[in-house]
Amino acid sequence: MLRAPPDSLFPLRHIHKPNSLLRTRTTRFCCKASLITNSDSFEVGRLIGSYGFMNITSSSGSPLGEDTEYSSGDLGRLRVQDVGEGSVKIRLYDGRVSQGPLKGTPVVFKVYPGQRAGGNEADMMAANELNAHLFLQNSSNGICQNLAILVGGFETKTGEQWLAFRNHGKSSAADYAKVMSEKVSRNRAAGVWNKFEQEETIKRRRYFVTKLLQGIMRGLAYMHDHDRLHQSLGPASVILNTITERDAAYLVPRLRDLAFSVDIGYSNLEGDPGLLSEGLWRRASTAGAFTPMEKRAFGISDDIYEAGLLLAYLAFVPFCEAGIMDGLSLQRLLESTFQLDLGATREYCLADDRLLDAVKFLDLGDGAGWELLQAMLNPDFRKRPIAQAVLNHRFMTVGIL
């Protein structure tokens, strides 16, 4: 382990209003959460990896034949022509707390580049993520076990923002899906066919995915109940403490990546939108949501739509051979090919033997999975269920029975 970067002598920049960098000011943390802001209290280990973000530079017309950039209910949000890699590149490092009450606690550092490398956008994202976690961790209801826990952070002299999170695992839901699909491919290529073992494997997979979905929706319900949207929900934004299906009883999924989180408290909805939420409120206006109450409902339904796409991803990818289905292909199938008609989607998938295990999973409970997906992906944002209603849906338990 190395000490934290020697030039890391300054606390993380704190934004008074989460979505606006224009009013940024340098201040020390002042909050209920006991965060570590001294870089000397951390040790940095190896580089785990890095990732970036997509920039959508233009949108195609709606497949429903509308001329507007976004169709009603936000259908056009993800149908794009040009998608480029954004300028913000995030690095992840192993580490641990080296002194104080949390000494020895393993952490994962999420490093945002300074303005020179990442521009103002990197600072906005780092500050927004910080503020979202501070708010959620200061709740009188206690800390939600299905959210990543921020331990502390600091800013280096070069302007890099280092956020330290408890290390509850390094594998994401995307990693889990990839490992399982590769396992399906290996078993089929090797001609492994023991009916009993196959049935047991499918049962374990269904149980694991159901537990995973439950944890995701609990985390999202907690955020919505506390006036925060996620706005970046996907398989890579869910961290898992295990990807071993036999350990499903101990699985604790946690939502991370709150850089684009949006405050939907009524006082915030009446003010000027921040730069990170401009696209959300533009889509809300196009869908006919203008009042604070309508905008709040639209924002929540927007997260539910993303959660629906994530449900579809987890219902298909881990049950199929590698390369048969991926997130983008599935999204295009749902949105463009079948225009969110889940009945037609099912009939199409039923005709492909490679997708049968996924179809049978969603068929559980007399088609409960398809029913839930249809509700979460409803073209009319007003008809989508809230997170707690998703949790209470029979599909969220049928895979465990």
**59 three-state secondary structure:** strand
Q: Which fold has domain 39-53+86-166?
A: Phosphorylase Kinase; domain 1 (3.30.200)
Query: What angle, 0 to 180 degrees and rounded to 10, lies between the N-to-C axes of helices 292-316 and 356-376?
Result: 180
Q: What number does CATH give the domain 171-399?
A: 1.10.510.10
Q: 87 CB contacts (<8 Å, ≥6 apart)?
A: 55, 117, 118, 119, 121, 122
Which amino acid, one-letter code, is at 210?
T
CA separation (Å) from 224 to 219, 237, 280, 319? Answer: 9, 17, 16, 30
Q: Quote the radius of gyration of the chain (alpha carbons, Å).
A: 21
8 A C-beta contact, residue 264 and residue 238: no
Domain ranges of the chain: 39-53+86-166, 171-399
Q: 357 CB contacts (<8 Å, ≥6 apart)?
A: 202, 319, 320
Residues 358-384: what's their mean pLDDT? 97
CA separation (Å) from 174 to 179, 314, 316? Answer: 9, 9, 12
Backbone angles phi, psi at 320, to 5 degrees: -115, 160
For the cut 80, the answer to whether the pLDDT of residue 191 exceeds it is no
Rounded-to-integer distance, Cα 260 and Cα 228, Å: 10
- pLDDT for res 139: 82
Secondary structure in 3-state letters for 159-214: CCEEEEEECCCCEEHHHHHHHHHHHHHHHHHCCCCCHHHHHHHHHHHHHHHHHHHH
pTM, 2 dp: 0.85
Which amino acid, one-letter code, is at 113?
P
Express each pLDDT in 285-302 by its tens digit. 999 999 999 999 999 999
Q: Tell me whether residue 8 is exposed, middle or buried, using C-beta atoms within 10 angstroms of its C-beta: 0 to 12, 13 to 18, 19 or more.
A: buried
Reported as half-sphere exposure (CB side, CA atoms, 13 A), residue 328 has a value of 4
Express each pLDDT in 65-113 by its tens digit. 333 333 333 333 443 334 445 567 899 999 999 999 999 999 999 999 8
Per DSSP, what are the bridge partners of residue 42?
Answer: 97
Express each pLDDT in 7-39 by its tens digit. 433 334 333 333 333 233 333 333 445 788 889
